[in-house]
Amino acid sequence: MNRFSVSDLEAIDRLWRSVPADHVWTGWSATGDEPEEITLYRTRAHWRRFPLRKSNAEFVLYDDKGTEVARSTSPLNLLEQVEAIPGLAA
């Protein structure tokens, strides 16, 4: 896996800040200046934690069990992928 660059982190942060307050994507976290993994968080009703990794020119999203659930070539497409993932059954 590749590391996220500062510009990758800035793009993800801009995208996250652009969504409305009631959006399913509630936040993200990363450790270090150029992390190998970012964690995306969703709302309590749809609670899931998704590790995001970078592979060459793609963002690869995994579920909480480590299964790949989406690939994206752009942050905007990544947002669409996050929105499309169903919440946990009640």
Q: pLDDT per residue over 45-69, tens digit each?
A: 666 788 999 998 899 999 888 999 8
For residues 48 and 87, the answer to whether their CB atoms sit within 8 Å is yes
Q: Note the pLDDT tens digit of each residue in 1-57.
A: 699 999 999 999 999 899 898 888 888 999 988 999 999 988 766 667 889 999 988
> How many whole angstroms separate alpha carbon 77 and alpha carbon 58?
10
pLDDT (0 to 100) of residue 85:
78
Measured N-to-C along each axis, helices 75-84 and 6-18 cross at an angle, to the nearest 10 degrees, of: 50
**In angstroms, how far is the first alpha carbon of the chain from the final one?**
34
Considering the entire predicted model, what is its pTM? Answer: 0.82
